[in-house]
Structure 1
Amino acid sequence: MLENSLSVFSSISLTDVLVFIIPFVLAVLVDLLTHKSGHKITMGNALIWSIIWVLCSAAFGYYIWHSRGAEAGSLYATGYVLEKALALDNLFAFYLIFKSFGLTQENRQHFQHRILYWGILGAIIFRFFFLGFGALIVNVSPYILILFALVVLWTVWKMWKSGEDDEEVDYTSHWSVLAVRKFASTNPSIESGKFFHHGVTPLFLCLICIEVCDVIFAFDSMPVIVAVVRDPYLMITSSLWAAAGLRSLYFLLVAAQGLFWALDKAVMVLLIFVSGKLIGSAFGFHLPNVVSLSIVAVVLLTGVIWSLAVKAPEEGENGDAAEK
């Protein structure tokens, strides 16, 4: 059984690995070195780098299409779009974590970049681990797919409940933060801009909370990608290219957090579709890849159009959108 699971990785050649690893690592290094100073990220900078990451991901997608065919290309595109869509809720959670730690104030916003600088590296590692594990066990038994479907439906329920709950979570009391405080001395000041300065600073506690949040998100999103993309190479590469651009995407989303209010609903619809696809796959039903990609695109586009055409229910009389 283990040998059958490991066989899914046999189609990955050394060329495939190098064609992905070399440009990916170079792109990540250029991004990190360019923003090493930790200055406040402007909208223009975030937009430019978001476009750069999309273009890099598209260039790799062209390689997939050229070397493996149109079907593999559509699978890669579906995995990439799904990962980006699922990241929306996670990035807004990052914003609420920053808000809990007082890092959304004008004179402290530049600290967000420093935390995300390292947080995105953790996001890449977590996705690689969980997706590799998912690709390994998905062929063990069809019941694994049903279990994955239940995890996806659990994610939908959590998103629905968080949307109904108006009370914001205080992440400074998150269990991960309390655990660090229990075993390490803390310094309440963040003015040094360091993670460690006469003890653990709130910046490090915030980073820990971000990383734990992303571990949970990586676990929740793994069954979603597995439902559509079974090829481990396409699964991992599409997810990692999407994750690498999350830092820039975060700053764009914060600026437009009240604009695309219906995207959360669209993502929940997508997750219900994915859970149905997982259950169908467990019983031998296969939906063509082009159909899956079309459904993902149509649902997300509908969420965008609906957001722009209809005023958000949370908007007040002055037209300002309530914070997510």
Structure 2
Amino acid sequence: MLEISPLVWGVTIGLVVVLLAADLLLAALRPHKVRFREAAGQSVFYIAVAIAFGVWFTWAYGSDAGTQYFTGYLVEKSLSVDNLFVFVIIMTTFAVPEEHQHKVLTFGIVLALVMRAIFIAAGAALLNAFSIVFLLFGLLLIVTAVQLFRHRDEDPDIEDNTVVKAARRLLPITDDYVGGRLSARVDGARMFTPLFLVLIAIGSIDLLFALDSIPAVFGITSEAFIVFAANAFALLGLRALFFLVQGLLDRLVYLSTGLSIILAFIGVKLILHWLHEDISPSVPEIPTLVSLAVILVVLAVTVVASLVKTKGDPSAHAHAGSLTLTSRKKEQAGR
């Protein structure tokens, strides 16, 4: 186990909080349509921060720890792209005005960080107390991978989201966004705006992604600090990445397939680790460097194959993938 001092924890968390606060302040003070140049500059900045942190971390704690961080960061970054797909679907479903998308994305990132911090703490405690959790996490990832692959050509049905449906049924909702506020007084009565529903949808999706991403990165490392840092730095650049690759996302037609392969691979890695630790030391483990190589190759093949596919077939477009059969598919199956 790495000896991470409270000072390092504090500085790392402080850096993440400062960057998030700056992002929130920018979204609140200057709501606007984010242009390509601005998004590109911010994306480069956040990636540079993540790499700089990784270089320092490698220097301070050794190459093995550094490899774990960069591998975890890569896994979380690739999963966050799928998260972007769902954000696009949510914003399209609710017709979120461009000037308010920045605010929605920042909220989604903050909520994702909070949820993942909670899951990281819980996951680390469980792994330390019960080694069989490695097996359970591995099985969870394999099941998730199978479901994602089965429904790779579908998108999550946001309107069918249980939480969103309950909110629509129980709360008074205005027809317009009322200047980007969460609630407004209409004819003397307090009502919620569609932006409130958007945030509810984002929150429920963040919860689902946290349930997948935390076991995935624990498959790379059992160090809670590395898990947190990889998640935090991968999520920090998500808002800028959304505006940068918004047009490209639709061309990544094999992303769900690639992610399902990565999740299945990490699931197998976790199960092998459990077998090695609890059953027999003769069971081989997958080294972190091998994991990094596999993930890089899968991502590279996914991107190249997707671009080749869409170039040859312009009508092809990507889907975020779904873990369950959507209501639309259920209706088609019932006919």
Q: TM-score range by the shorter chain?
A: 0.7 to 0.9
Q: Tell me what 2:151 maps to.
A: 162
1:121-175 per-position Cα deviation (integer Å, ceiling 9, x unaligned): 111111111112111111333321121112112221332233234xx55423421
1:266-315 per-position Cα deviation (integer Å, ceiling 9, x unaligned): 211111111110110111142222121111112111212222334378x4
Q: Tell me what 1:5 maps to.
A: none
How much identity, in percent, do the aligned residues show? 29
Query: What stretches of structure 1 of length at least 5 have no aligned partner?
Result: 1-7
Q: Tell me what 1:43 maps to.
A: 36
Q: Tell me what 1:90 maps to.
A: 83
The question of 1:18 aligning with 2:10 is answered yes
Q: Tell me what 1:175 maps to.
A: 162
Inter-partner Cα distance in structure 1 for 2:198 and 2:150: 24
Within the candidate set 236, 241, 245, 1:253 is matched to 245
Inter-partner Cα distance in structure 1 for 2:165 and 2:307: 41
**Secondary structure of the equivalent of 1:197?**
strand
Inter-partner Cα distance in structure 2 for 1:237 and 1:170: 31
Q: Which amino acid aligns with 1:322?
A: H
Inter-partner Cα distance in structure 1 for 2:123 and 2:302: 29
**Maintained 8 Å contact 2:178/2:193:** no
The TM-score, its normalising length taken from structure 2, stands at: 0.85
Q: Which amino acid aligns with 1:211?
A: G
Q: Which amino acid aligns with 1:163?
A: R
Q: Tell me what 1:3 maps to.
A: none
Q: 1:169 to 1:87 in 2, by over 3 A?
A: closer
Question: How far 1:195 sits from its partner (Å)?
Answer: 1.0
What is the root-mean-square deviation in Å for CA atoms of aligned residues? 2.0
**Maintained 8 Å contact 1:187/1:202:** yes
Within the candidate set 175, 183, 196, 1:196 is matched to 183
Inter-partner Cα distance in structure 2 for 1:160 and 1:310: 18
Q: 1:312 to 1:130 in 2, by over 3 A?
A: farther
Q: 1:225 to 1:312 in 2, by over 3 A?
A: farther
Q: Which amino acid aligns with 2:27?
A: H
Q: Tell me what 1:73 maps to.
A: 66
Query: What stretches of structure 2 of length at least 5 have no aligned partner?
Result: 186-190, 277-283, 320-335
The question of 1:281 aligning with 2:280 is answered no
**Secondary structure of the equivalent of 1:138?**
helix
Q: Tell me what 2:223 maps to.
A: 231
Inter-partner Cα distance in structure 1 for 2:266 and 2:317: 30
**Maintained 8 Å contact 2:104/2:199:** yes
Inter-partner Cα distance in structure 2 for 1:241 and 1:283: 31
1:155-202 per-position Cα deviation (integer Å, ceiling 9, x unaligned): 21332233234xx55423421122223443222221432111131111
Q: How many residues were matched structurally?
A: 306
Q: 1:293 to 1:169 in 2, by over 3 A?
A: closer
**Maintained 8 Å contact 2:254/2:318:** no
The question of 1:111 aligning with 2:111 is answered no
